[in-house]
């Protein structure tokens, strides 16, 4: 597990990935590696706790889009919670929120995903 | 991949614009440089897809830059590098002051970052390079790539905004620093300073000023000076005049009555001007004189007032370096104080010494002596150093005489208060001494040293109780003053001198018992010690007896000396009531004998005083005219208009011991008055008539 991923856990058949740091090329690759590994094990739903990620670039966003594409192929879903305002704004501008969901808390995310 | 999911250029431009807008909006909200730089860097990296970044920022007053912010970079690899804005790639930026992208060469200092590509933009203050934003390795899904020209334009735009924000914070910091500096200067100066604006409102005040005016800063700021200094018109008038005439004004020794505190200040008011030399208020400086007063007061414990004032006025005199000069030195010492103090409680010893020193030092300062030392019960006093006058030696001798004379009064008080008297010997010498501040850096005292000082000390040792011994040198200096008398003594041999030293004893009127002082002290003693429950034998009765004694004595043509003795006996005749009311005459006589003996009052006169006190015992049996006078004075009221008042006071006092009915009291009075006879012609002629009338009146009452 890279430094960017600080924990991976499951809650109600949802894989919850906690990140910390810059969601760029390196950070995005670390997330996609975990997601693809879990998909291979049959997991379909993913949540990313982004409390520790205060900054993101477009490469990191484009990797998230690639993950969304892969999940759509198998009717899987991905969502995010604990987003910093600047991260939420970037996700919005880059169109990410059209294809994946942003939640306030883990509890809401687990219930609604 | 569907087209919906492609991040197109439009979205990226939108993100860039939003980021730039955010930076514009947010950067001015920062007030700390480190936070500002971090925000600039992080947003720059994010919007331009840089994998990491650095901001280098100027060191004050040098061409070297230091790392002000870093992002996603292990900066320990850059440790030890010097970022000089006059060298290499940073110098290029310094010269062009335009953003550019570049490939990191192997020999570049940035190669340590292990990054391949860079983008650099300047932070400028006016046209000077104050910092550099460096972004490393543009990210793409295919890996890292060089930055584009468009990225340089974007970073340049961010850097421009960042420069404005950075310079604003720097400006704010320098203003704060200047304000703090000014505040610190204002707060640390001991002069009280406050300023007023054009409206007359106080807008700045330092700590010293709030202390002087005894008001909290919060109560002063924003208020008009006329309101704050309502009770100190001289200050308000001074400020008003300064406002009207735009001139500097000052006034000395201004009394300030502020909030229950009285202070004396020197005050100066100056117009406060702006850059165009237009008045914008006033600045008021107040110098608190209380500390100078305190200094004077402390100093005056050691030096006479005149010397303190001279030293404070003449700064050159304060440089008391060692110098040889003529001076007169006086030593005094209490005789037998060590053995005397053995029988005293420690606090009594301290109290005695303090009373004694207070009295003596007052005399020393009266004659401009400088108290050099108090050594146990001894005093060392200098005359003529640091500053000398023609009168120094004479002043020393006059000090010694007055010390001995004042000690007589001092001892009268002690003896009357049942304390042992004090006697002193004094030695005075004049000669060359070394004077100056002598001691360590921590404690330095002005003193004089030398053979002449030692001789003065030896003369003091040679002086017996009540004696003033001076060297022949001293006598030579003062013999022109015909009011001073001396007698030659046998020369004395002193340690360290081969030849015997010629000495003289200064003669003064010794031990003439001061009656007036004695009367006052006895009256004070009676006031404090007579039993408070007594209504007849009070200080009023004693004062009356003293008065009547003198009146009768004068009528009887008694001589002055006898009248003085009579009055002394009158003051003492009821003093025995303090200790033994039942035998107060005998107790009073014992006390009188004891104190008069201690005061070296002539023995025959002591017996005379005691006889007069004893003669007042009822039934009175006076043996001579003086005893007759005091007896008549003691019962003078029997033939006076105020008989009834005194009789009631006596009844009240007698009833403290036993019940006495009205009838019994009439019987007692009748019996006493019938047996009583006045002894002196004066009382017989002036009091008998009224006494007989009183007697008849009592007789009438008894018949009823």
For the record, the structure tokens of B520 come out as 């006052």
Q: What distance in Å separates residue A21's CA from the closest CA in chain B?
A: 8
Nearest residue to B141 via CA among A27, A54, A60, A38:
A60
Split at pLDDT 50, 70, 90, the class of B15 is confident
Instruction: List the single residue in A24, A69, A90 with the smallest CB-CB distance to B5.
Output: A69
A95: chain B residues, CB-CB within 8 Å: 4-5, 7, 11
pLDDT at B28: 74
- Which of B46, B49, B52, B70 would you mutate first to test chain A, the one with the most A CBs within 10 A? B46
Q: Does B345 touch chain A (CB under 8 A)?
A: no
State the pLDDT at residue B4: 47
Three-class DSSP category at B652: helix
In whole angstroms, give the CA distance from residue B259 to residue B242: 25
User: How many whole angstroms separate alpha carbon B396 and alpha carbon B363?
Assistant: 10
Residue A8: is the preceding peptide bond cis (ω within 30°)?
A: no
Of chain A, the end-to-end C-alpha distance in Å amounts to 25
B 31-90: CB under 8 A from A: 42-43, 45-51, 71-72
DSSP β-bridge partners for residue B254: B265
Rounded Cα distance, A110 and A97, in Å: 17
Q: Tens digit of pLDDT for each residue in B508-517?
A: 877 667 788 8
How far apart are alpha carbons A22 and A53 in whole angstroms? 6
Instruction: Spell out where B303-410 has E strands.
Output: 323-334, 370-375, 378-383
Our count of domains for chain A comes to 1
Question: What letter would DSSP give residue B221?
Answer: T
Chain B nearest-CA distance from A90, in A, is 7
Residue B3 pLDDT level (bands cut at 50, 70, 90): very low
For the CA atoms of B427, B428, B434, B435, what is the dihedral angle to 10 degrees?
A: 100
Dihedral, CA of residue B567, residue B572, residue B577 and residue B578, to nearest 10: 130
Enumerate the residues of chain B whose CB falls inside 8 A of the CB of residue A99. 4-5
What is the C-alpha to C-alpha distance for residues B573 and B612, in angstroms, rounded to an integer? 8
Domain hosting A42: range is 5-112
Does pTM surpass 0.80? no
Q: Return d(Cα B613, Cα B379) in angstroms, integer.
A: 41
Report percent pLDDT > 70 for chain B: 92
Distance from CA of B15 to the nearest CA of A (A): 6
Closest CA relative to residue B592, chosen from B612, B615, B622, B617: B612
pLDDT score of B704: 76
B350 touches chain A (CB under 8 A): no
Find the CATH number of the domain harbouring A41. Answer: 3.30.750.24
Does ipTM exceed 0.85?
no
**Chain B: residue whose CA lies nearest to A99:** B5
- Quick: pLDDT tens for B328-387: 999 999 988 877 777 788 888 888 888 898 899 889 988 988 888 888 889 999 998 777
Q: Quote the CA–CA distance of B244 and B198 in Å, as a whole number.
A: 11
Integer Cα distance of B200 and B237 in angstroms: 12
Q: What is the pLDDT of residues B43-101, one digit of tens each?
A: 899 989 999 999 999 887 678 899 999 999 888 888 778 888 888 889 999 999 999 99
**CB-nearest partner of A59 from B2, B43, B49:** B49
CA angle B249, B252, B253 (to 5 degrees): 145
At residue B1, the pLDDT reads 39
Contact B639, B694 (CB under 8 A): yes
**Whole-number Å distance between alpha carbons of B222 and A4:** 57
B658 at the A interface (CB within 8 A)? no
Q: How far, rounded to the nearest angstrom, does the alpha carbon of residue B568 sit from its chain's CA centroid?
A: 43
**pLDDT at residue B468 in the model:** 95
Cα separation of the two ends of chain B: 146
Q: Output the pLDDT for position B100.
A: 94
Which helix (H) or strand (E) segment holds residue B673: the answer is helix B662-675
Q: Which domains does chain B have, with CATH numbers?
A: 3-174 (3.30.450.40), 189-288 (3.30.450.20), 320-507 (3.30.70.1230), 515-703 (1.10.3210.10)
Highest mean pLDDT of the ranges A1-5, B184-188, B640-644: B640-644
Sequence-distant (≥ 6) Cβ neighbours of residue B431 within 8 angstroms: B326, B327, B450, B451, B452, B455, B471, B473
CB contact, 8 Å: B250 with chain A? no
The Cα-based distances of B607 to B601, B610, B630 in angstroms read: 10, 5, 15
Q: Do B20 and B157 contact (CB within 8 A), yes or no?
A: yes
DSSP B114-149: T--EEEEEEEEETTEEEEEEEEEEEEETTEEEPPPH
Q: Are A84 and A50 in contact (CB under 8 A)?
A: yes
DSSP 8-state class, residue A23: B
8 A C-beta contact, residue B383 and residue B303: no
Contacts 24+ apart (CB under 8 A), B293-297: B293/B264
Bridge partners of A57, per DSSP, are: none
Q: Is B593 exposed, middle or buried (0-12, 13-18, 19+ CB in 10 A)?
A: middle
Give how far the C-alpha of residue B650 lies from the chain's centroid of Cα atoms, to the nearest Å: 52
């Amino acid at each position: 597990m890279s430094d960017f991923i600080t924990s991976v856990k499951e809650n109600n058949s949802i894989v919850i990935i906690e990140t910390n740091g810059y969601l760029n090329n390196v950070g995005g690759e670390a997330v996609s590696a975990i997601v693809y590994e879990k998909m291979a094990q049959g997991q379909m739903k993913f949540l990313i706790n982004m409390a520790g990620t205060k900054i993101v670039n477009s490469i990191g966003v484009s990797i998230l889009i690639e993950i969304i594409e892969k999940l759509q192929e198998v009717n899987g879903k991905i969502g995010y919670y604990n987003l910093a305002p600047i991260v939420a704004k970037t996700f919005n501008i880059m169109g990410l929120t059209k294809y994946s969901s942003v939640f306030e808390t883990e509890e809401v995310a687990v219930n609604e995903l | 991949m569907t087209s919906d999911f492609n991040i197109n250029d439009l979205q990226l431009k939108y993100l860039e614009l939003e980021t730039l807008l955010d930076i514009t909006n947010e950067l001015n909200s920062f007030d700390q440089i480190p936070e500002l730089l971090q925000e600039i860097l992080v947003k720059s990296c994010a919007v331009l897809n840089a994998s990491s970044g650095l901001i280098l920022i100027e060191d004050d007053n040098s061409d070297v830059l230091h790392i002000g912010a870093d992002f996603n970079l292990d900066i320990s690899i850059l440790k030890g590098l010097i970022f000089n804005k006059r060298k290499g790639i940073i110098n290029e930026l310094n010269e062009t002051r335009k953003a550019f992208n570049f490939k990191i060469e192997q020999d570049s200092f940035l190669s340590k970052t292990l990054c391949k590509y860079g983008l650099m933009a300047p932070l400028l203050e006016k046209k000077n390079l104050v910092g550099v934003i460096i972004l490393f390795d543009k990210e793409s899904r295919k890996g890292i790539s060089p930055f584009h020209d468009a990225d340089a334009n974007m970073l340049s735009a961010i850097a421009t905004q960042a420069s404005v924000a950075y310079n604003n914070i720097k400006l704010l910091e320098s203003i704060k620093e200047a304000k703090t500096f000014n505040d610190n200067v204002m707060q640390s100066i001991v002069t009280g300073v406050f300023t007023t604006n054009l409206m007359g409102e106080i807008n700045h005040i330092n700590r010293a000023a709030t202390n002087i005016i005894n008001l909290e800063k919060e109560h002063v700021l924003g208020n008009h000076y006329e309101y704050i200094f309502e009770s100190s018109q001289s200050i308000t008038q001074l400020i008003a005049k300064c406002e009207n005439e735009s001139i500097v004004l000052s006034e000395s020794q201004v009394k300030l009555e502020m909030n229950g505190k009285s202070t004396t200040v020197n005050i100066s008011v100056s117009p406060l001007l702006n850059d165009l030399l237009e008045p914008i208020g006033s600045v008021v400086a107040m110098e608190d004189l209380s500390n100078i007063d305190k200094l004077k007061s402390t100093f005056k414990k050691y030096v006479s007032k005149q010397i303190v004032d001279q030293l404070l006025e003449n700064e050159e005199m304060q440089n008391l370096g060692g110098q040889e000069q003529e001076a007169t030195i006086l030593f005094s010492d209490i005789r037998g104080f060590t053995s005397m103090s053995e029988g005293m409680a420690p606090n009594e010893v301290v109290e005695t010494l303090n009373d004694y020193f207070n009295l003596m030092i007052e005399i020393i300062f009266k004659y401009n002596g400088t108290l050099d030392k108090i050594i146990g019960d001894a005093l060392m006093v200098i005359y003529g150093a640091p500053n000398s006058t023609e009168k120094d030696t004479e002043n020393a001798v006059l000090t010694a005489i007055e010390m001995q004379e004042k000690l007589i009064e001092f001892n009268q008080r002690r003896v009357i208060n049942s304390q042992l008297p004090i006697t002193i010997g004094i030695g005075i010498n004049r000669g060359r001494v070394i004077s100056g501040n002598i001691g360590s850096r921590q404690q330095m005292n002005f003193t004089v040293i030398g053979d002449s000082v030692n001789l003065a000390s030896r003369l003091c040792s040679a002086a017996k109780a009540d004696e003033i011994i001076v060297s022949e040198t001293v006598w030579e200096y003062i013999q022109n003053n015909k009011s001073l008398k001396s007698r030659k003594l046998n020369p004395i041999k002193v340690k360290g001198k081969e030849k015997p030293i010629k000495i003289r004893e200064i003669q003064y009127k010794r031990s003439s018992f001061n009656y007036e002082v004695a009367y006052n002290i006895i009256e004070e003693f009676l006031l404090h010690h007579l039993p408070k429950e007594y209504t007849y034998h009070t200080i009023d009765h004693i004062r009356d007896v003293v008065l009547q004694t003198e009146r009768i004595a004068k009528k009887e043509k008694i001589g002055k000396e006898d009248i003085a003795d009579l009055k002394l006996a009158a003051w003492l005749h009821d003093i025995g009531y303090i200790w033994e009311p039942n035998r107060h005459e005998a107790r009073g006589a014992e006390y009188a004998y004891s104190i008069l003996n201690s005061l070296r009052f002539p023995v025959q006169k002591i017996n005379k005083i005691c006889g007069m006190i004893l003669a007042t015992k009822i039934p009175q049996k006076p043996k001579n005219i003086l005893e007759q006078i005091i007896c008549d004075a003691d019962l003078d009221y029997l033939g006076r208009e105020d008989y009834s008042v005194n009789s009631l006071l006596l009844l009240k006092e007698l009833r403290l011991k036993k019940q006495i009915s009205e009838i019994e009291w009439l019987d007692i009075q009748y019996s006493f008055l019938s047996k009583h006879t006045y002894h002196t012609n004066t009382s017989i002629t002036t009091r008998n008539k009224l006494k007989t009338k009183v007697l008849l009146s009592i007789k009438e009452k008894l018949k009823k």
